Amino acid sequence: MKKLLLTGVFKPFGVSDEYGEALATMELLNNQVTREQGIHSPRSNNPSFGLYIMAENIEIPATVLDFPSWEDFTKEIDAGNYTHVGISFIAPNVIKARRMAQYVRQKSPSTVILLGGHGAAIPELSDIVDYDEVCRGEGVTWLRRYFGEDIDKPIVHPVVHSGVRKFVYGAPIISEAGIIITGVGCQNTCRFCATSHKFEKQYTAFLSSGKDVFDACVKTEKALKVTDFALMDENFCKSPRRARELLVEMEKEGKAYTFSTFSSAETIGKLGIDYLVRVGVKFLWIGVESKANVFEKTVGVDLHALLADLQNHGITVLASAILFMEHHDKQTIHEDIDWAISLESDLLQFMQFGPIPGTRLYKDYDAEGKLLKNIPWPKQHGQDEIWFNHPHFTLKETASYTKEAFIKKFHTHGPGVINMAHTYLKGYLTAKRETEEREKAGLVWDSKTLRYVKGDGPVRDEFMIKRLEAMKLSALEFRPILKVAEMYAPNWESAQKARMIAEKFEQTFGPPTVKERILAPVVRLLAWLEQMRLKRDGVVMRQPHTIRKTYPDRHATAPKATPDHRWVRHREHKRPAESAQHTEAKAEVK
């Protein structure tokens, strides 16, 4: 009987060794958003979401092993009797994937090794890793097709936390959130975007209707006791029908869920700020890229005004900008850095322009001879030195420019966490005022136009009352850290900002509660201990705990399907009789 192990690469992460780099921490915020903010930087790890949704949606028994140590992985291989092992990785972790594949070959030569993830696009992958098949597209369909299952079955959404092992100022972040994977891919086709190219510049919806999304939220709420969700989707706002349906379901059931998601600038106006507030979007990641407006998604958009409007309505903005693009020289790169900082986003990512395998940019640079072949894969992560020839910068300069850009943002606007606290507070006050004004004016929500329209008279907006309570709770989560943010502020301006925000909290919500007064000194103590560790060690790394989850055999109830073997085969190995059917010629997969 077939049995599948789906695994991420092994820890430790964020250390420089033969397998990886210290700057590749497997931490989104600390690695590439709140980098250089020291004790102020939130720390967390995001599970390998794709592994769970794949395991949930195939018939054969499967096990997910996420954040394994080397010992965890080898123990699983030794005792698991797996017929297939799938390893998911990004390009900088390919050496870890190679070692894992070597161990599988040594201990279980008959086991089929499957590779997937963004690292699967490495052109010379077959020279680095010993594998059998590789998925270079959407994984659920690929696995179903590979195992001869029905590829058109509805997606069953898994229950997964959006982040684990979360800390800030050395204190555990108690609030929890779930992840909802609504779809993969992006049709904006930026030539540097690995996601767009991995999914062939197409969008594949896992949850195609607002009802589907809502049901996934309800399922996760019941399992994890959460009402806050990360919508994993490159451009959730790009599907207005689904977005409209989601709000209808939430209002019908009285669920004031909150969401964090991604959006391109040009799509926000189609739904409108009022919709985003009402549906509960509290965090948006927006690619601003460059002042030069070289991308269609930002052309004609007043980004300063857009970001300010979002923040005034309580929506934290993470803006992302790109360094070392083709138009950058010693002057224009500083102009772009200063422009990105001038947007005053709560959080700001600086990522290097990087030719990622599988993208059009990679193919262009390879054809033009711009790629530096002597840069090892573990160094190609976008936060140190670039791995292509740039006419205006040396490799060492690119590392220092990137670091200094983060430092400048930090010292200009202070810690990202106090910016977020300020945005959530402003949003609560704005929504409270606007709700009261609309009620007096007799305006009601129109789900078809996604706008407030004139009603029959003054009416109480019951759903916005629930929304206001959710916004209040989001803001109050930050109250215990405001004092330590002031104590460890990088400069006088940041300390003043933290004090001002704390005063606004008191004016809005009154004096701290008993619970908040108890928490405050605890957080200060934990922050002091964290600062001592930072001074002693230079960095505090907390490795995520290993997650192991099993999924049952669904063959007994699942309908049989005709095999369709459109997959990539790398090498022939002797296999059990049940695998003999997988010996067809190579074929590229989606």
Whether the per-residue pLDDT at 572 is higher than 50: the answer is no
pLDDT recorded at residue 5? 98
Whether the per-residue pLDDT at 557 is higher than 60: the answer is no
Q: Which residues pair with 45 in a beta bridge?
A: 164
Higher-pLDDT residue of 260, 80: 260
Full DSSP string of 433-497: HHHHHHHHHTEEEETTTTEEEE-SS----HHHHHHHHHHHHHHHTTGGGHHHHHHT-SSHHHHHH
pLDDT recorded at residue 265? 86
* Rounded CA separation 209/205 (Å): 9
What are the pLDDT digits (tens) for 127-158?
A: 999 999 999 989 999 999 999 999 999 999 99
Question: pTM for the full model?
Answer: 0.90
Mean pLDDT of 55-73: 97
pLDDT recorded at residue 59? 96
Mean pLDDT of 238-262: 94
* Rounded CA separation 352/516 (Å): 41
Give buried/exposed letters for 440-468 (b at 16+ CB in 10 A, else e): eeebebeeeebebeeeeeeeebebbebbb
pLDDT recorded at residue 564? 35
Q: pLDDT above 90 covers what percent of the chain? A: 79
What are the pLDDT digits (tens) for 71-126?
A: 999 999 999 899 999 999 999 999 999 999 999 999 999 999 999 999 999 999 99
Whether the per-residue pLDDT at 292 is higher than 90: the answer is no
Q: Are 292 and 262 in contact (CB under 8 A)?
A: no
Whether the per-residue pLDDT at 545 is higher than 50: the answer is yes
Provide the 8-state DSSP code for 545.
P
What are the pLDDT digits (tens) for 386-417?
A: 999 999 999 999 999 999 999 999 999 999 99
Full DSSP string of 40-91: GS-EEE---HHHHHHHHT-SS-EEEEES-BHHHHHHHHHHH--SEEEEE--G
CATH numbers and ranges of domains, the chain? 4-24+48-151+546-579 (3.40.50), 418-510 (no CATH)
* Rounded CA separation 399/390 (Å): 13
Mean pLDDT of 240-261: 95
- For the chain, what is the radius of gyration of the CA atoms? 25
Mean pLDDT of 338-349: 98
Higher-pLDDT residue of 75, 235: 75
Whether the per-residue pLDDT at 563 is higher than 70: the answer is no
Mean pLDDT of 482-488: 97
Whether the per-residue pLDDT at 340 is higher than 90: the answer is yes
**Residue 141 three-state SS:** helix
Mean pLDDT of 18-28: 86
Whether the per-residue pLDDT at 421 is higher than 80: the answer is yes
Mean pLDDT of 251-268: 93
**Mean pLDDT, the chain, whole residue set:** 90
Q: pLDDT above 70 covers what percent of the chain? A: 94
Listed range (234-238, 282-286, 420-424, 575-579) with the worst mean pLDDT: 575-579
Banded pLDDT at 237 (limits 50, 70, 90): confident
What are the pLDDT digits (tens) for 176-228?
A: 999 999 999 887 777 888 888 888 878 888 999 999 999 999 999 999 999 99
Banded pLDDT at 555 (limits 50, 70, 90): low
* Rounded CA separation 106/312 (Å): 58
What are the pLDDT digits (tens) for 26-57?
A: 899 999 999 999 999 999 999 999 999 999 99
Whether the per-residue pLDDT at 561 is higher than 60: the answer is no
Give buried/exposed letters for 79-106 (b at 16+ CB in 10 A, else e): ebebbbbbbbbbbbbbbbbbbbbebbee
* Rounded CA separation 220/212 (Å): 12
Other C-beta atoms closer than 10 Å to the C-beta of 78 total: 11
**Residue 178 three-state SS:** strand
